[in-house]
Amino acid sequence: MFHDFVLAARLQAELQTIYDRFTPINLLAKFQAVLTQPKRLRFMGLLMASLLLAIAPALLQPALVSAQQIAISPPNPELGDTISVVINMPPNQATNTNPYVLFKQKQYPAFAIAPNRWRALLPTTPLDAPGLKQVQVVMPSGSQAYNVNLQNRSYPTQSIWLSPSKSSIEGTDHEFDRVDAFKKIVSPQKFWQGAFIRPSQGSVSTVFGVRRYYNGEFANDYYHRGVDYAAGTGSPVFAPAAGYVRLVGTVGQGFQLHGNTVGIDHGQGVLSIFIHLSRINVKEGDFVQPGQVIGAVGSTGISTGPHLHWGLYVNNEAVDPVPWRYDGIE
């Protein structure tokens, strides 16, 4: 009996040592050592070894992020919505390593919005499949996965008929390169405050997400990446939120598809693009305020009539601007 107590005490000490300095190799060695004990002592040894095996998965798992540290909104997003993930990091976990979020097999940065508070913006589009999506939050202290129910949303279809002169325009490499580079901008600063304002006084002629037929042929992998406002040529176009003008392109510079174009960086991966303009009132590098006139409605580029196209991009994907106008994302 005395030997049993001695063995139990020794195994308890080994358990604490392995807990503090655990590796699978150490655990295997301890288990093998138990098997070499005399038969009389083997039962208690196997009992303690089984306990070690039971807790091994927990010891090997990385630390998990507390659910109270994460806030995801909207709770039930629809296709085209922007998902906001707010991460509250305890002061004792603050490091120079920024948290980030994994979503749709992509990594999205999180930016500081207050002391010990970070936020990542996740875009969804009409081309995504609805259903449960995993949002994985990665912090220096560990990671945690959350399921978000991305709900379906019905988008209308539209038929567009272009004249032979318009349908033959293919655009230029210069135009595509500049627009693509603009959409990839992710500035760490946040320039907007509150809800975005309406960029045109015209009536909405085409909503976000519409699927289209061009001259009778369905455009696969296409959705209307913005909101169109019908207004007369020369009607003012307003900046919907503060930001830096990062893109100015004109028909004379080869912007054949977009026409005269202005792009504004609102910060942290949020961008606005305005196309088909008849006039441009700003230059690259200007900082604009919400409500400032940046240009005028036109019909330049591929357009069937005077209107403003406003596209809102979040981390290089076009999202529905409407929630940004009415609900706002701080």
Q: What percent of the chain has pLDDT over 70?
A: 77
Q: Are 179 and 262 in contact (CB under 8 A)?
A: no
- 13 has a pLDDT exceeding 60: no
Region 191-213: mean pLDDT is 95
Mean pLDDT, rounded, for 89-105 = 82
Q: How large is the average pLDDT for residues 161-173?
A: 74
Whose tokens are 């019909």? That residue is 299
Over range 57-75, report the average pLDDT.
Answer: 63
Count Cβ neighbours within 10 Å for each residue of 296-322 and write b for 16 or more, e otherwise: bbbebbbbeebbbbbbbbbbebbbbbb
For the ranges 28-37, 174-183, 206-215, the maximum mean pLDDT occurs at 174-183
- Kindly list the strands in the beta sheet with 211-214, ordered across the sheet, starting from the edge strand earlier in the chain: 157-160, 211-214, 217-218
Output the six-digit token pair for 141.
């202290």
pLDDT at 196: 98
The more confident residue out of 211 and 238 is: 238
- 36 falls in which pLDDT band (50, 70, 90)? low
pTM: 0.78
Q: What is the pLDDT of residue 89?
A: 82
- What is the number of helices (H) and of strands (E) in the chain? 6, 21
Q: Check if the beta carbon of residue 314 is closer than 8 Å to that of residue 187.
A: no
Mean pLDDT confidence for 143-170: 84
The CA–CA distances, whole Å, from 170 to 164, 173, 207, 249 equal: 12, 10, 24, 16
* Rounded Cα distance, 309 and 199, in Å: 10
| pLDDT at position 67 over 70 | no
pLDDT of residue 22: 39
Q: Per-residue pLDDT for 17 more than 60?
A: no
Per the DSSP assignment, residues forming a β-bridge with 66 are none
* Predicted pLDDT of residue 127: 93
For 230-288, how does the pLDDT look when each residue is reduced to its tens digit (9 = 90+)?
999 999 999 999 999 999 999 999 999 999 999 999 999 999 999 999 999 999 999 99
Integer angstrom CA distances of residue 76 from 67, 130, 153, 330: 17, 11, 12, 18
User: What number of other Cβ atoms are within 10 A of residue 202's Cβ?
Assistant: 18
pLDDT at 97 (0 to 100): 81
CA distance 228 to 304: 12
What's the pLDDT at 1?
45
Average pLDDT over residues 48-73: 55
Q: Backbone phi, then psi, for 13, in 5-degree steps?
A: -65, -40
Interval 173-185 mean pLDDT = 97
- Three-state DSSP class for residue 309: strand
Hey, which bits of 184-292 come out as E strands? Answer: 203-206, 211-214, 217-218, 227-230, 236-238, 243-249, 260-267, 270-277, 279-280, 287-288
- Residue 2: pLDDT over 50: no
Angle ∠(276,277,280) on CA atoms, nearest 5: 145
pLDDT class for 41, splitting at 50, 70, 90?
very low
Cα–Cα distances (Å) from 186 to 125, 257, 286, in that order, read: 19, 24, 17
Q: Among 22-31, 54-63, 211-220, 284-293, which range has the highest average pLDDT?
A: 284-293
Instruction: Identify whether the C-beta of residue 259 lies closer than 8 Å to the C-beta of residue 289.
Output: no
Region 166-187: mean pLDDT is: 89
Query: Is the pLDDT reported for residue 61 higher than 60?
Result: no
pLDDT at position 39 is 52
Give residues with Cβ within 8 angstroms of 54, minimum separation 6. none
pLDDT of residue 330: 74
Q: Which of 219, 241, 120 is nearest to 167 (CA)?
A: 219
Give the CA radius of gyration of the chain. 29
55-64, 67-76, 173-182, 183-192: least confident range: 55-64
**Which domains does the chain show, CATH number per domain?**
2-60 (no CATH), 67-150 (2.60.40.10), 157-326 (2.70.70.10)
Mean of all residue pLDDT scores within the chain: 83
